[in-house]
Amino acid sequence: MKTIKLLTLLLCASVFAFAQAPELLNYQGVARNASGQPLANQSITLRLVIRHSTATGTQQYRERHNITTNDYGLYNVAIGNGTIEVGTMGAITWGSGAKYLQVQIDPTGGTSYTNLGTKRILSAPYALSGGTQTRITGISPPGCQSISSASTSYTKIADLGTFTKNGTQTFIELCFQSTFRVGSMTASGVYYELRIDNNPTTLGKANLLLREDGINTPGSISGVFTGLNAGTHTVSIWAKKANGNATSVYYDSGCFSDGRSLIVKEMR
């Protein structure tokens, strides 16, 4: 059996954050046999583990790659783009505690791994550990949605769509654009509110106040939501009257297919 040696342990931060694209870290290594000769043009399985606090600490993330070395035994992969076995990149606590990268390899392309060693990642990528990082998702909500009348407490008009939150320590900013209309009201106004999983934001207000009836009024609603778990979430829009009566409470009252949009930003 060939003995594999790890020649290099090189990390370069390259973080992209568009439409839920994962965080990616470039990794490069060279596999050699016991005689120091490179394993050239060989199909191998590479397994990468990110451990917390110590070289034998908890596995916060693990993935594998099936790749082929080049003429010099060199391979290049992007951590975050492999087949995930444990955790998610978004859940790694880069800003808390040391992080170690463990590298394992099977030179036959199987799953009988040889451990190549574990090294501390001396500098966590800025955008992952504490810098600005944003994922943007665009949603096309259903149009021409309404409730027959508003009450003094919020009533759901419609679900606008779903999104996937990748991180556990991130927050969500919503921005919804549409036209709003109340067919008739004696109320002093109607509030429209964005919610996630039917819950209002605990950080400020995500609402719009419409004070005139019978007119298609363009507007936008934005709000910031914190404390959401990673996973799939649903955005909805609700309405309530300030007092009096309000009937035919619409968003996208003109049924404009290009006049409504929902932008979801996940940031840290």
Give the residue-averaged pLDDT of 122-131: 55
Give the residue-averaged pLDDT of 4-23: 40
Among 11-15, 117-121, 252-256, whose mean pLDDT is lowest?
Answer: 11-15
By the 8 A CB rule, do 177 and 217 touch? no
pLDDT of residue 133: 61
> 91 by DSSP, 3-state: which?
helix
90 φ, ψ to 5°? -65, -20
pLDDT of residue 254: 78
By the 8 A CB rule, do 7 and 30 touch? yes
pLDDT digits over 172-188, tens only?
999 999 999 999 999 99
Amino acid letter, residue 87: G
Which among 74, 68, 80 is positioned nearest to 14, based on CA atoms?
A: 80
Please check the confidence at residue 191 and state whether its pLDDT lies above 50. Answer: yes
**How sure is the predictor about 19, in pLDDT bands with cuts at 50, 70 and 90?**
very low
Q: Where are the domains of the chain?
A: 5-129, 134-267
Rg of the chain (C-alpha set): 26
The reply to whether the predicted model has a pTM over 0.75 is: no
134-267 in CATH: which number? 2.60.120
pLDDT digits over 193-222, tens only?
999 999 999 888 899 999 999 998 889 999
> 85 by DSSP, 3-state: which?
strand
Domain 5-129: CATH class, spelled out? mainly beta
- Same CATH topology for 5-129 and 134-267? no
